[in-house]
């Protein structure tokens, strides 16, 4: 009963956002705020606060004290390109990274400043736990240390899709896609995301222990940060990246009980898109490799997931999400316990979405809405939670014990905006709300500019939609958002999902407006990086007024000929033409 009353209280609280130009001074008395940046892998907006039937009470508690953007999108639906994009504030065509194997952007594109680097350059102590940068050549095999981080990054034990750690009915271990486990029986008696949380919690305790001392100096010893020579407390920028719900869905088995199979529903649009060009199809090869998925591994690229496994996959994804919700709850409750909840900005997002049976798709690797849309929220203490009247900011809530109708009514708590947001907006937004210099919009010759962004700060939207006085009046906010995806061939093959740079011959550019999504698949030269805009190989058009679930490509329909001409022109003018316009004619 107490938990029910507490959940009801969360849903009744209405948070009104009040932001001033002196945002930093408003909630930190002239000091610099800390920043906690949470990145969740393959994370669509599968949250109760976003209207999804998923048990996520801890993230919903955060959402009820935050600004939620309900139309936020990644610039490419695959891990490494997306993460390098939003961490540098540049789009994939400017980082020259469309795969996750080939290049380190500082060497191949430009010596671009990253979000944590900007905070580090402004006196912040920066540290990373888990998957923040994509590990490997794309981040110099160091997750961009020492440029971005004050100390080497912490990575938990790696897991692989082919690891045989999942118990089967035959009593043996298998490489399953859906993998509920007894954690105590796993290697080391733990899971990677639990280790990342433990590491971040330990770091918070160490930071709190010296926040009023002199000479802070931390180094990482094994799996636990150790404090030596206590020094003057500096603000911190801590990034924590969670691997789940990325494949394989390995999670503590008790979370499966939250989603009985008989309660699971198929995706509302489970059928193959009518008139979809072959180049747009994502054949979810990495799902097929699981020993528990009864489909052909290589050849049957268009075959649907059997209905039984459609439901099992959705069950496993949601169970893994609830597991991560509990880990985030552990971290946020510690943030409050050690005294940082009132002076720490929190940003939470996914690196891209994930397709859960929509259009017969399972995974990412496409330009569909379900592959590019992500949750995005910002918690700003004493600003976004001004009407939060519970004595605790972040009480730890066990998803297994919650009594709630999936917290859908909590969507009215906190504040929500449907303005276009892109992950490249993270850099300028975090800079502005923390009181740092905001990176300007990059010039056309972006490769020779170290400090700039191809996104814009979302702070003016917050001012505008809350009727809060602002020096930046908006005439028009962004009128479109953009994503892209590379392909090696026009027809699906085993290399279609994640082609390496020498294999990329086609680039699909997608533009999302309030009424349409328009896509052109164009010839791409992987040596010169040139795109041939004169000869589209295929075109897609979806009308959100008539077809909000993107079930039919209407590009060839006569009624849309003028729409196609107009959208084709806008796509070629690209993201710069879609930037906001302010009263003084400049971009915020």
pLDDT digits (tens, 9 = 90+) for 492-530: 887 778 899 999 999 999 999 999 999 999 999 999 999
Report helix, strand or coil for 401: helix
Closest CA to 294 of 280, 278, 281, 312: 312
User: Is 134 an annotated catalytic residue?
Assistant: yes
Tally of domains in the chain: 1
How high is the pLDDT of residue 279?
96
pLDDT digits (tens, 9 = 90+) for 277-336: 999 998 888 888 889 988 766 666 777 888 999 999 999 999 999 999 999 999 999 999
Residue 395 lies in a domain: yes
pLDDT digits (tens, 9 = 90+) for 196-235: 999 999 999 999 987 655 334 444 444 444 443 334 457 9
CA distance 106 to 112: 6
CA distance 214 to 212: 7
Residue 379 lies in a domain: yes
How high is the pLDDT of residue 75?
98
Q: Is the pLDDT of residue 41 over 90?
A: yes
With contact defined as beta carbons under 8 Å apart, do 539 and 508 qualify? no
Which runs of E-coded beta strand occur in 323-473?
344-350, 355-356, 362-363, 373-379, 415-417, 421-422
Range of the domain at 232: 2-478
Candidates 118, 134, 243, 463; catalytic one: 134
Give how far Cα 93 sits from Cα of 136, 353, 384, 507, 577, Å.
20, 20, 35, 10, 16
CB-based contacts of 172: which residues, under 8 Å, 6+ apart? Answer: none
How high is the pLDDT of residue 216?
43
CA distance 293 to 239: 34
Query: If pLDDT is split at 50, 70 and 90, which confidence band does 111 have?
Result: very high
Residue 276 lies in a domain: yes
Its pTM stands at: 0.91
Closest CA to 352 of 366, 332, 333: 366
Residue 359 lies in a domain: yes
Candidates 11, 79, 153, 452; catalytic one: 79
What does the pLDDT average to over 467-472? 61
CA distance 73 to 367: 10
CA 268 to chain centre: 23
Residue 521 lies in a domain: no
What does the pLDDT average to over 246-262? 96
Residue 545 lies in a domain: no
Min mean pLDDT across 53-57, 395-399, 471-475 is at 471-475
User: Is 179 an annotated catalytic residue?
Assistant: no
Q: Is the pLDDT of residue 5 over 70?
A: no
The domain that contains 367 carries what CATH number?
3.40.720.10
CA angle centred on 111, ends 109 and 117, rounded to 5°: 130
b (16+ CB within 10 A) / e for 566-579: ebbebbeeebeebb
With contact defined as beta carbons under 8 Å apart, do 38 and 58 qualify? no
Residue 411 lies in a domain: yes
**Rg value, the chain, Cα:** 23
Residue 429 lies in a domain: yes
């Amino acid at each position: 009963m107490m938990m029910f009353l507490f959940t009801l209280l969360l849903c009744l609280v209405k948070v009104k956002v009040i932001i001033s130009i002196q945002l930093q001074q408003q909630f930190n008395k002239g000091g610099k705020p800390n920043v906690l940046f949470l990145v969740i892998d393959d994370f669509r907006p599968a949250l109760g606060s976003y209207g999804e039937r998923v048990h996520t009470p801890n993230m919903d508690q955060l959402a009820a004290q935050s600004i939620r953007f309900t139309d936020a999108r990644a610039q490419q639906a695959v891990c490494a390109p997306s993460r390098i994009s939003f961490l540098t504030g540049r789009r994939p065509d400017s980082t020259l990274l469309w795969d996750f194997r080939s290049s380190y952007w500082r060497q191949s594109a430009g010596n671009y400043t990253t979000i944590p680097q900007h905070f580090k350059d402004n006196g912040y102590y920066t540290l990373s736990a888990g998957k923040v940068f994509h590990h490997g050549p794309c981040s110099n095999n160091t997750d961009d240390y020492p440029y971005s981080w004050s100390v080497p990054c912490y990575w938990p034990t790696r897991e692989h899709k082919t690891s045989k750690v999942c118990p089967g009915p035959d009593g043996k271990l298998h490489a399953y896609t859906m993998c509920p486990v007894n954690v105590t029986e796993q290697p080391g008696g733990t899971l990677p995301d639990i280790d990342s949380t433990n590491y971040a919690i330990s770091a918070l305790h160490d930071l709190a222990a010296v926040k009023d001392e002199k000479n802070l100096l931390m180094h990482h010893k094994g799996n636990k940060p150790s404090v030596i020579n206590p020094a003057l407390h500096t603000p911190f920028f801590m990034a924590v990246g969670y691997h789940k719900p990325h494949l394989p869905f390995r999670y503590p088995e008790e979370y499966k009980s939250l989603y009985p199979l008989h309660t699971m529903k198929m995706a509302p649009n489970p059928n193959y898109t009518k008139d979809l060009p072959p180049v747009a199809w994502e054949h979810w090869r990495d799902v097929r490799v699981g020993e528990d998925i009864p489909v052909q591994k290589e050849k049957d690229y268009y075959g649907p997931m059997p209905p039984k496994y459609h439901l099992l996959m959705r069950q496993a994804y949601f169970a893994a999400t609830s597991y991560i919700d509990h880990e985030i709850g552990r971290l946020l409750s510690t943030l409050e316990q050690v005294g940082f909840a009132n002076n720490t900005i929190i940003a939470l997002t996914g690196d891209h979405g994930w397709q859960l049976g929509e259009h017969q798709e399972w995974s990412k690797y496409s330009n569909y809405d379900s592959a590019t849309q992500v949750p995005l929220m910002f918690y700003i203490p004493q600003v976004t939670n001004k009407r939060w009247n519970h004595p605790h900011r972040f009480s730890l809530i066990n998803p297994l014990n919650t009594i709630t109708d999936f917290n859908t009514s909590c969507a009215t708590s906190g504040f929500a905006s449907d303005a276009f947001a892109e992950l490249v907006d993270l850099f300028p937004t975090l800079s502005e709300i923390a009181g740092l210099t905001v990176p300007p919009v990059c010039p056309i010759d972006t490769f020779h500019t170290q400090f700039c962004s191809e996104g814009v700060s979302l702070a003016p939207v917050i001012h505008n939609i809350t009727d809060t006085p602002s020096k930046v009046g908006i005439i028009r906010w962004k009128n479109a958002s953009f994503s892209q995806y590379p392909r090696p061939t026009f027809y699906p093959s085993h290399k279609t999902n994640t082609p390496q740079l020498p294999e990329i011959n086609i680039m699909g550019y997608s533009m999302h407006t309030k009424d349409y999504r328009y896509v052109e698949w164009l010839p791409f030269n992987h040596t010169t990086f040139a795109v041939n805009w004169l000869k589209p190989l295929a075109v897609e058009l979806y009308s959100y007024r008539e077809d909000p679930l993107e079930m039919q490509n209407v590009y060839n329909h006569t009624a849309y000929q003028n729409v196609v001409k107009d959208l084709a022109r806008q796509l070629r003018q690209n993201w710069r033409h879609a930037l906001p316009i302010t009263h003084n004619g400049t971009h915020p």
